[in-house]
Each structure stands twice: as structure tokens, then as C-alpha cells.
Structure 1
Amino acid sequence: MLPFLTFLLVLGQTIQGEQWDIYDLADSLGCKDFVSALQNTGPMYVLSNNDSGPFTVFAPTDDAFNNLPANIAAIFNFGNWEYMHEIITFHITYGNMTLADFHNEAKLPTWQGQDLRVNIYSNTSGGAPIVTAEGARIVKSAVATNGIVHVVDHVLYNYPQVSADQYVHEQRNMTTLDLVVQITDLQDKLRGDNITLFAPQDSVFENIEGFMNKTLSNNTRITNLVKNHMVNSTLYSTSLTDGSVLTNTLGQHIVVKKNGTTITLNGVSVLRSDVSVTNGVVYTIGGLLFPA
């Protein structure tokens, strides 16, 4: 490996370093676990070839690998080559895509075969816009001889590879929401592109007296219930700031409170955030969202 090169990086710019290929550049940027995964799954042979490409690669930090959910970490810990290869090749796209080339809700075709979603959010701190790939924030970027490396703060994976309506249908703790979606025939709404769904889990409905007998019989009420939990843009948690106000598909407001990783929406706790689906992102929440 070539010795480490110190990059002078201003977030929002892509900096030209020495003439390194993508593989060596990712290593020099400190993405050691990602480089090891490239070795173990095969892409290193292409990414280290200056005659190949150009490619745009999203390289997770070592901290990103250290903070993987247990089910994803197990894929790497136990050397499941097939799934490792799927995850790693999801980080590799085509062309020389600098930060300036991205636009909000862009979909980039990956080696894995699935599209990777890029989002651009305004920075409430007054700095450069926040750019994410599948919700992972790009923290620095550098140019290689055969492409560009964007360092990201999370490992990218899109399991399950389903739309929002399919995701709800497959979750054991969202059977009531799934029933409501089917009764109201809103599957197409949940298949629409660029959506954020705040999905109440079953226990929420179980605690509402008379919900199954009274509310489910009122089509307008349950249709509005679903629309009240949807936003027509892809909003990963990186984009949510304390005090920000979202507008759902009924035109009503959702007020965000955020303290570290703890998020509430109109006082309702977010139990799980940033589940990437093919048409946006899904959150699991512990209550119903009523107008702020």
C-alpha cells in the first residue's frame, strides 16, 4: 500500500489527491475494513486497475463497520461470501460522480444491480448541504485515477429489497397497518417513489379502544390515517433536526424533536429509523401521528 496522504478537504468539495487508484485511495482514507471486504469479495482486482472504470465508490469508515446491526455484522463475521458480495458491490456505482454531480433523490445503478439513492438536504447549521447515500452521510471525498471515493459514515445495505407496501406486508409487528392499507386500497400510494412512511406497530392499534370495530369501518378515517403518516420525499434521520416541521400528504404538520439518536414526531417515539426501501425510507413508530 502507498503511504497515507493527508487531504485538505472542505466538505462539499471533491479534492484531487495523488495519482492513486480507488483501492489504494480508500485504504489511505482510513477505510481499512472496507478495503479488507473488497479483498475478500473480489472487487479489489477491478478497483485497483487503472485501466478500469471510472467508478464512484462509497467507502464506509471503520466505525461504520464496528456499529453494524447484529444481523448484518454476522454476515461479515461468519464470512457469508454471497451476502458480503451483495453488500460490498452495492457500494460501487459507475462514472465520475462528484458531490456537484448529485441531485436530490438521484438513483445510481450499482454493481449489485439495485439502485442506490442519493439525497441532498439543507444544513441548518449554515454549512455545506448534507449529502447522503442510502441515508449514510458523505463525510469526505477524493479523486482517484479511475474514479472517485466518497467516505460515508454507515455501511450501505438495502435489505429487504422491497417497496414500502411490501415491507409493511412482511413485518410481523405491522399486521394492522397492512390490513388498513389493503382495506383502503392504498398499496399504490405506498409504492409511489420518494416517500417517507412512519409506520405504527401493532401494539399502537391494540391500545385504541374500539379500533377494529369502529375505526376500520370508516373508510375515510382510515384512509386519512395512512396518509397522515406519509411524506412525499425521502427523509432519512440525518435530515431531521430538532424543531424542524414536516408536512404529510394531508398537508398537516409533523414536529420533530431530536436529541442525539432519540427522535419523536408530534410526541410519538421513533422506535426504528432509516429502513431503506426501493421507493424511499420507513420508520417504525410507537404511536399514531395526530396533527401538531
Structure 2
Amino acid sequence: MTKTRSLYFMGHEQDGEMFNAVSSDANELGAFIFQNHGTAAGTTVELGEFEAGSTLHFAYLVTNGSGGAPTGSLFRTDVEADTNYFAIGDTRSDEASLFTRLGIEDIRNPAHSDFDYNDLIVDVRTTAIPEIAMKTIITGAIASSVLITAPALAQCGGSDYAHKSNATVSTVANASQGKDIVDTAVAAGSFNTLAAALKAAGLVDALKGDGPFTVFAPTDDAFAKLPAGTVESLLKPENKDQLVSILTYHVVPANVMAKDVVKLNTATTLNGQRADIEVRNGNVFVDNAQVIKTDIAASNGTIHVIDSVILPESSNVVETAQSAGTFNTLIAAAKAAGLADFLMNEGPITVFAPTDEAFAKLPTGTVESLLKPENKGKLADILKYHVVNGRVYADQAVKAGSAATLLGKDVTISTKGGAKVNNANLVATDIEASNGVIHVVDSVLLPS
């Protein structure tokens, strides 16, 4: 048995009557619950008792608006196109109840909205009733402080802001029975390939752990976009390490809600590499995958759905340098010093990589001398002075101000007169490799 009630977002005292005049599905959706202006913050409404597993849908009505949300616009959580306008917030629980916060954004034009989904906020509280059902109470956490009115919307016409979010609230028997990330994905029915990949990679137990985790979850359709045979190949036991690398690149070891994701430029993943985050025309992208649904709550974190599989850098430091074509002297020096295997197989490491032009700035004959077998130790010391243990990104390096190298001596990082390592200019930063990160310098660093 599923019973549905709806939350109507109202602007004036007479909006209840106006709703009946402009909406043809008032009887279908259920009773009026909250009024935007007339209902005080903290008001509670008891919705009734439902069987565990029932789904509650909510709606709000714009009864005095224009532009992106004209008068009579009704937005419902059970309509896919309307889910842009709702966001699920933090889920919390006490001994008796599970609380889920639902936020609504009433201005969806990127030029005028702050997209904080706090124009109407309600808490959905579900309480277990032994062997029977759930008692659900809606509490108005904040009476709307930004009212949809004709003057406000007159300034924000144009297309709606496409911020995808999941806004269906499902009752559960009690907080302790809430699904973790893996079970939530399996129950959704559209992440079968992801679930199979997690099992093949041996990551199921990890993602069923305490967390918190944020998972950028590719759908089955997203995996299907990979070249033919890719998924089948990745699922083979001999490719387990590669599969683990890819899957952990989709996981952030923190609970990052959509409202926080849009404030980021990057996110550090369990893989160790950073994924790029960008907002384009109101849509959020992780690398080149678009986020199509957000804030799916699980007991140990949050799921954001993406439309493509994101792939971490698979080339190691040496391979990455080779493909660039401007580090031939550095690679030759690493081989001569016996450090090439280390740079290929160990990690994570950070390399301040001098270009061929940087080596050419050394006094005539210096490079040729260093490459001689009898100078192998001296060459190794110079190269070790360019390598730091751990994956240290540029912002972290600048904040630290110095870094201990493999040689045991520190290099100094500063931004005075431009970003520098000692006296060498940083000309490119944060070049990802499978086992570390590369920062390009325009001079060879020489230990004192």
C-alpha cells in the first residue's frame, strides 16, 4: 500500500483557493499542507501511518509569479522534469526517528538565484511503529524568506536552472535499517554494471563500511558508452588492479552534498587523484561526466549520478613525461642514475620536472658529465632533490611553503614574484600520473 500526500508551496492567504482554480490535479495530489507566508516556522503536520517502504511525494505551487516560474506552475517530486527544483539535504536520526531535510529553490535562473535550496525547508520525520507502519510528520524548519512574487520573478526570466536532484522520500522501518551506498545502488535497478564491478574489484565491503563516502555513480547506460568489450575486459581477474583504480576514482572519502560540490574545482578521490569539477551553463560536470541526479542519501554517505564513466590517469610518471616530449633529458638522466624503475613503479610521488630547456641552461658540458657512470651518485642526488614522497598538489605545496625531498633536503615553495620552487619558476602544475603528480620547472634544482 502506498499513500501519497503533497506539500504545496503557497505565497498568499488565498492561494489555497487559487490552487483549485489553476490546477487540475489537486484531488490527485492530496491536501494542502503548508502556506508560504501564513505558516510559521516550526509548524508540524502529521501525515498519517504508512506501510514500511511506502513513498511520499511532495509538490509546491507558484501562484503569483512570472518568467521561469509562471503563475500556476506546479512542481512535483514524482515528475522527472520537476526534480530540478528539489534537493534532499542531510539525513540524521535519533533513537526513535529518522529525519530527512527537503529544500526547495524558488528562483532557478543562474543570473539571479543563489541555488541554496533554502527558500522553503522542511524536515520529514519517520518513526517506526512495530509490525505495522510508519508515522510521518512534516516540520517546517524555515518559513520561506524569499517569496516568489511578480516583482522578484520579473528580474529573472529565461530558461530554468537545470540542477538535478533526487527528491523522493521513502519511509524505512527504522534508522538502523537504512540502506548503505551499495544496497541503495542495487535497489535503484540502474546500477547493475557498477554493482558487478564493485564485486569483481573486491570493493563491496569497503563501500558498505562506516564511511562517509560520496560516490559519483555511473549508470548502466554510462558503462554502455565505453568502447565495446571494455567492461568485459575490466571484469576479468587479471585486470582487477585497473578496475580498482577506476572505481576508487569515483569515490570521495567524505560526505559532499550537491550544494558543496558546486563550490569545488576539484575533489580528491580514494584513488588519490583529483577529479575536476566544473559548472557549465548551470550543469555540473565531474571531469567530462555530467551529474544528472544528486543527493541520493545512504546510511554511510551520498550518491550523485553521472552519465559517463570517469577515467583516472593510467600512465605512470615516466610514461607521462615521455608522452609530453619535452622531458627527454630528464628521462635519460633517470635511467643513467638507476631511478627510472622507481619513478615508474613507486608512489605516490611528486616530481618537480625540469624540461629539456631547463637542463640546457646548465653550464656547457654539465649534462654530459653527469650522465657518465662515474658520476651516477651525484646525478642520483640531483634527481632525488626533485622528488617528494606523496601526491602534493600545487595549492598544498604553496600552503606548506616547503617540501622534504627524497634526498633529505627541503625545497622552498613560494609565490613571491610568481610561483617558484627555490629559484626555479613553476611553469605548469598538477599534471596527473597514475603514481603521482608532476609540476614542471624551468630550471634544474641543485642541492647545496
Give the TM-score normalised by the residue count of structure 2.
Answer: 0.38
Question: Residues of 1 paired with 2:440 and 2:382: CA distance?
Answer: 15
Find the counterpart in structure 2 of residue 194 from structure 1: 348
8 Å CA contact retained: 2:413, 2:421: yes
> Residue in 2 aligned with 1:230?
387
Does 1:184 pair with 2:337?
A: yes
- CA–CA distance in structure 2, aligned partners of residues 259 and 150 of structure 1: 40
Local SS of the residue matching 2:368 = coil
The answer (yes or no) to whether the contact 1:237–1:273 under 8 Å persists in 2 is: yes
AA aligned to 2:330 is L
Q: How far apart in 2 are the matches of 1:7 and 1:253?
A: 44
Q: Matches of 2:188 and 2:247 in 1, distance apart?
A: 25
The answer on whether the counterparts of 2:245 and 2:312 sit within 8 Å (CA) in structure 1 is no
User: Which amino acid is the alignment partner of residue 4 of structure 1?
Assistant: F
Q: CA deviation at 1:265?
A: 1.0
Task: Tell me whether 1:173 sits opposite 2:173 in the alignment.
Answer: no
* Secondary structure of 2:366's aligned partner: coil
CA distance in 2, matches of 1:138, 1:223: 38
CA distance in 1 between counterparts of 2:303 and 2:379 reads 46
Residues 259 and 150 (structure 1), Cα distance of their counterparts in 2 relative to 1, 3 Å cut: farther
Q: Which secondary structure does the structure 1 equivalent of 2:367 belong to?
A: coil
Report the residue type matching 1:235 in the other structure: V
* Residues 17 and 142 in structure 1, CA contact (< 8 A), matched pair in contact too: no
Q: Which amino acid aligns with 2:384?
A: K
Could you give the per-residue CA deviations for residues 100-136 of structure 1, whole angstroms, max 9, x where no partner exists?
xxxxxxxx9768846539899xxxxxxxxx9723235
What residue is the counterpart of 1:216 in the other structure? 371
Change (3 A) 1:135 1:112: closer
Q: In 1, distance between residues paired with 2:244 and 2:190? A: 14
Counterpart code for 1:283: H
The code of the aligned residue for 1:57 comes to V
1:100 is matched with none
Equivalent pairs counted in the alignment come to: 211
Cross-structure match for 2:420: 264
Q: Is the 8 A contact 2:87 2:295 kept in 1?
A: no
In the alignment, residue 5 of structure 1 is paired with which amino acid?
A
Tell me which amino acid in the other structure corresponds to 1:238: D
Residues 243 and 258 of structure 1 are in contact (CA less than 8 Å); yes or no, is this contact kept in structure 2?
no
Q: Provide the C-alpha distance between the structure 2 equivalents of 1:198 and 1:8, rounded to a whole number of angstroms.
A: 41
The percentage of counterpart residues that share the same residue type is 22
1:25-64 alignment, distance < 5 Å: 50-51=188-189, 56-58=214-216
Counterpart residue identity of residue 228, structure 1:
Y
Query: Which gives a bigger RCO, structure 1 or 2 (Cα 8 Å, sep 6+)?
Result: 1
Alignment of 1:135 with 2:268, yes or no, is no
Distance in 1 of aligned mates of 2:432 and 2:439 = 9
Counterpart contact for 1:240–1:258, Cα < 8 Å = no
Which residue pairs with 1:71 in the alignment? none
Shift of the alpha carbon at 1:291? 4.0
- In the superposition, relative to structure 1, how do residues 291 and 279 fare at CA in structure 2: closer, same or farther (>3 Å)? same
User: What CA distance in whole angstroms lies between the structure 2 residues aligned with 1:177 and 1:225?
Assistant: 11
Q: 1:253 to 1:33 in 2, by over 3 A?
A: farther
Structure showing greater Rg = 2
CA RMSD in angstroms comes to 4.8
Deviation at 1:226, TM superposition (A): 1.2
Structure 2, unaligned stretches of length 5 or more?
Answer: 1-80, 92-98, 104-114, 118-160, 166-183, 196-206, 208-213, 231-240, 254-265, 279-293
Q: Any idea what the Cα deviations from partners look like across 1:202-249, whole Å, max 9, x if unmatched?
A: 001111122233222211111111111101111112322346211000
In structure 2, the CA distance between the partners of 1:150 and 1:184, relative to structure 1 (3 Å rule), is farther
1:109 and 1:289 map into 2 onto residues whose CA distance is: 34
Shift of 1:285: 1.2
Between the aligned partners of 1:179 and 1:142, the Cα distance in structure 2 is 49
- Runs of 5+ unmatched residues, structure 1: 10-14, 20-27, 36-45, 60-80, 90-107, 121-129
The alpha-carbon distance between structure 1 residues 136 and 180, as it changes in their structure 2 partners (threshold 3 A), is: same
AA of the residue aligned to 2:348: N
Q: Structure 2: how far apart are the matches of 1:257 and 1:173?
A: 25
Are the structure 2 counterparts of residues 34 and 224 from structure 1 closer, same or farther at C-alpha, using a change threshold of 3 Å? farther
| Counterparts of 1:224 and 1:58, CA distance in 2 | 42
CA contact (8 A) 1:243 1:257 kept: no
Q: Is 1:116 aligned to residue 255 of structure 2?
A: no
Summarize the Cα distance change of 1:212–1:138 in structure 2 as closer, same or farther, 3 Å threshold. closer
Judging changes above 3 Å, is the alpha-carbon distance between structure 1 residues 185 and 137 closer, same or farther for their aligned structure 2 residues? Answer: same
Aligned to 1:158, what secondary structure does the other structure show?
coil
Q: Is the 8 A contact 2:90 2:100 kept in 1?
A: no
Measure, in 2, the Cα distance between the counterparts of 1:176 and 1:265: 20
